[in-house]
Amino acid sequence: MNKKDLSQELKEKALKEGFAVVGIASIPGSSRIKLRTKALERWLENNYHSEMKWMESNKRKRIELMLNDAKSVITVGYNYLNENSQNKFLKIAKFGHGEDYHKVIKQKLSNIGNWLEKKLPNCKWKICIDSSPLLEKAWAEESGIGWIGKHSNVINRNHGSWLSLGFIIVNKELTPDEPAKSLCGKCEKCIEECPTKAITEPFVVNSNLCIAYHTIENRNTTFPSHIKQKLNGWVAGCDICQDVCPWNNYAPINKDTEAKTQEWIKDLDANSISWTDEEWTEKLKESTLKRIKPWMWRRNIKAVIKT
C-alpha cells in the first residue's frame, strides 16, 4: 500500500474509533511551529504558566525528543460535548463531565497504533495526550484539524472547540495535511467576555488570572481575591471563553456513553462540602477531575457559596 492510501485508511480507522477529527503533519513541520515555539518561550518568560512548571520541559519545544527518528505526527480530536452539559449552581467545565478522556483517548489511540504496526513493519509509535510534554495545539494546527483561537483553544470549523486532543508520533513518513488557517477574523468575544481578563491579548492566557487554572491547578488553601470575586459558580474549570465563541453555536453532540455526564456531577450542590475524602475518591475514580483533590473541591465550593 502506498503512503497516500495508507494515510487515508489510517484516518478512516481513527474516525471509526470514535474521534471527531483527524489530521497528519510531517516532522519537523512548517515555519509556524517555530513561531509557536517562540510564543511558548515568551509565555514562559512572563511566568504566565504560574506554578505549572512542567510546561518548561525542553521536549515541548523539540518533538524529536519524544521518539527516536520521528517522521510524522497523527492528531485526533475527541468531542466531549454531551447533551447534559448545561451547568447548574455549581459549574463544571464540559471537558470534565464524561469519563476520564485521558483513558478514553489512550485506548482508542492504542488501537490505531497496533493497527498501524501491522500495516507498517518496524513502525515505532508513541502516544501523547495533554499530560505529555508536547506543543499540542501547535501540532493540531499543523495537522490541519483546526486553528488556535484567540482564547488559545483549537477550533474546528465543524466541531468548534469542544475537543480533547490526542497524538501518535511515528517513525514513518505519512502524507501530511495542509495546516489550518485561522477563521477567527475580527471577533474577540472570548477576550471581551473573560471576567478576569485572563486573555491578555489574542492567543495569550495568563494562568495567574484564569479561573480554570485556579480551580484545577492552584494548590493554595485560598483564592486570590480577584479570582474569588469572579467565580460565578465555577468550581472546576471555566467555559466562558468557549461558550461565547460563535464557532461553538452549532457544534454537534457526542451521544456515546463515555461522554455522558457522570451521576455525581448531577448531585453536586452546597452539601457536597460534607463529602468525605473516601466519598470524593470513589466518585472521581473514573473522572478527569480527580486532579482536583477532595480538599480543593471543598475550597472551591466554599469560595463560590461565600462569594
Assigned C-alpha cell, 232: 460565578
175 located within any domain: no
Assigned C-alpha cell, 8: 487515508
Domain that residue 260 falls in: 189-306
201/252 same-domain check: yes
280/234 same-domain check: yes
**How much is the pTM?**
0.92
Q: Does the pLDDT at position 1 exceed 80?
A: no
Number of domains in the chain: 2
Q: Rounded CA gap, 164 and 162, in Å?
A: 7
155/242 same-domain check: no
State pLDDT tens for residues 109-145: 999 999 999 999 899 999 999 878 789 999 999 999 9
Instruction: Please identify, among 120, 139, 170, the residue that sits at the C-terminal boundary of a domain.
Output: 170
Of the listed ranges 17-26, 150-159, 188-197, 255-264, the one predicted with least confidence: 255-264
Q: Rounded CA gap, 8 and 155, in Å?
A: 22
Of the listed ranges 52-56, 156-160, 241-245, the one predicted with least confidence: 52-56
**What is the DSSP code (8-state) at residue 226?**
H
7 located within any domain: yes
CA gyration radius, the chain: 19
Our CA angle for 144, 49, 212, nearest 5°, is 80
Q: Rounded CA gap, 161 and 146, in Å?
A: 9
214/143 same-domain check: no
What string of H, E and C letters represents the secondary structure of 62-115?
A: CHHHCCCCCCEEEEEEEECCCCCCCCCCCEECHHHCCCCHHHHHHHHHHHHHHH
b/e sequence 98-125, b meaning 16+ C-beta within 10 Å = bbbbeebbbebbeebbeebeeebeeebb
263/130 same-domain check: no
Q: Rounded CA gap, 40 and 79, in Å?
A: 26
29/154 same-domain check: yes
183 located within any domain: no
Q: Does the pLDDT at position 290 exceed 90?
A: yes
State pLDDT tens for residues 232-268: 999 999 999 999 999 999 999 999 999 999 999 998 9
Question: Per DSSP, what are the bridge partners of residue 78?
Answer: 164
Q: Which residues are catalytic?
A: 130
165/233 same-domain check: no
94 located within any domain: no
93 located within any domain: no
15 located within any domain: yes
